[in-house]
Amino acid sequence: MLDALYAFLAAHGFNEPLHPPITHMPIGLTVGAVTFFAVAIVFGRKNLVMSARHASILAFIFVFPTILLGVMDWIHFYRAAPFTPIKIKIALASVALMVLGIGIILGSEVKLHSVSMAVLYAVAFIAMIGLGYFGASIIYGRGLTIKPPSPVMEIRTNAADTRLMNAPSVVLPRTNER
């Protein structure tokens, strides 16, 4: 069924992973929550604490489809191979989900100088940075020595049908030259 979805999208000209377009929602909303909370503390603006909470609620909501699409892409493009950056992303996504959820529960009261909320927002922010870093390193290979599934593969983006993307005629060994 998953291959059918990717084949349908490829037949209509979209032969890309589904996860990257939505991944910016929870990351951006978490950055917004941290920014609103920091400005609220620095300038004593209690109403911005509520804005931070609203942004964190939206980030929490968008984490679910982002994780779902990430898992779908991982299954489709990497055949669910458990290589290190994926394991790290799973751990960081779990942390982000828990921290955002706890922040929503604890943040139901508007408090201007809440150390626990500042810590939760900071941890969520760091988790999002880590998710972005390891996600980009999987795609671009920068900053880490990544060992994706054996053999290391490069997929031609012009494959007409995604069911054929991992066929021997389509998969090429990746060279270190870029």
**pLDDT per residue as tens digits for the range 26-76:** 999 999 999 999 999 999 898 898 999 999 999 999 999 999 999 999 999
Residue 152 has pLDDT above 50, yes or no: no
pLDDT score of 163 = 47
Residue 146 gets which letter from DSSP? Answer: -
Question: How many domains are there within the chain?
Answer: 2
Spatial distance between the Cα atoms of 86 and 134, rounded to a whole number of angstroms: 8
Domain for residue 1, yes or no? no
Same domain, yes or no: 163 and 137? no
Residue range(s) defining the domain that contains residue 172: 148-178
The answer, yes or no, to whether residue 135 has pLDDT greater than 70, is yes
User: Are both 24 and 103 inside the same structural domain?
Assistant: yes
Domain co-membership, 68 together with 125: yes
In angstroms, the CA 122 to CA 118 distance is 6
Q: 111 and 165 share a domain?
A: no
Higher pLDDT, 98 or 16: 98
132 and 175 housed in the same domain: no
Average pLDDT, the chain: 82
User: Are residue 24 and residue 109 in the same domain, yes or no?
Assistant: yes
Q: What is the pLDDT of residue 170?
A: 40
pTM: 0.76
